[in-house]
Structures are given as C-alpha cells and as structure tokens.
Amino acid sequence: MTRWLDDDEQRTWRDFLAATQLVNEALDRQLQREAGMPHTYYMILVALSEAPERSMRMSELAARAQSSQSRLSHAVARLEERGWVRRRPCDSDRRGSFAALTDEGFAALAAAAPGHVEEVRRSLFDVLTPEQLGQLAEICAAVRNTLEP
C-alpha cells in the first residue's frame, strides 16, 4: 500500500526541492560569473585540494563529487585542458587512474573561494536564525546518515 504524502508533507517536499535547486543555481551562477567555472568543477577542485598530496583515485573522486564516472571523466578532461588537474595511471591497477590538482588549479580554487563562500552565506546561512541553522544541521545529518553508503 502506498503511503501518500499528506498536504504538509507535500508542501515541505516541494519547498525542499525548490530551495535546494535555487541555492544550487545561485552558486552555479556566481561561480560562472566570477570564476568562469561551474559549481561541479569547483566541487572537484575542493575535493582534490583536501586529499592527501592533492590527488585522488577517479572512482573515489566521482563518489565524493556525487557524480557518475563518465560525467566526472568529462569534467576532469575540461579541467585538464585548463591546466588545473592532471591525470595519471594507477601503478597497481591498470584500469584505475588518479586525478591530481595542479598549482594552477589550486590558485584558481583559492581565487574562486571568497566569492563562493559569500554566495553560500547570502543564499543559505544569512536567511536562517541560529535555531533554524541548528535544526537544518540535524535534518541534513539525519538524511545523510540514512542514505550515505
């Protein structure tokens, strides 16, 4: 038997979808305008910047960036063209490869970060009260802990 959403759940669901889409679109617009990169590229650069030696297996990077392997491969190819990322084969696994953040890529990330953080604040945190921020943190953790592998 289907457990249909009641009116409050339906409204909450639709508000959640609209809010997440609008925040993501605002972040993407800001990064495109100020840094010349989509949000997806920014997320890849961040993941690499936080990895040991600024390098990560492509499969792990895809999971971290919440992307399919083929989509990530396409994005990394574009980042390679810009000189921001370098790919190298995995010594122990011929099918695997690593992506590494170059110094130029780190500089591009560092230049983009202040505007991105300001947009995150403007789009999300500045509109919430401290109580709402705490609630949002709890909600996100509960959903993530349930769904994340």
**DSSP codes of every residue in 32-79:** HHHHSS-HHHHHHHHHHHHSGGGEEEHHHHHHHTT--HHHHHHHHHHH
Domain at 27-147: CATH architecture? Orthogonal Bundle (1.10)
> Residue 95 has what pLDDT?
74
3-class state of residue 96 by DSSP: coil
> Phi/psi at 90 (nearest 5 deg)?
-85, 130
pTM for this prediction? 0.89
> Residue 51 has what pLDDT?
96
- Rounded CA-CA distance 21/46 in Å is 21
> Residue 91 has what pLDDT?
75
> Residue 115 has what pLDDT?
97
> Residue 124 has what pLDDT?
96
- Rounded CA-CA distance 115/118 in Å is 5
Question: Which residues in the chain come in under a pLDDT of 50?
Answer: none
- Rounded CA-CA distance 109/49 in Å is 9
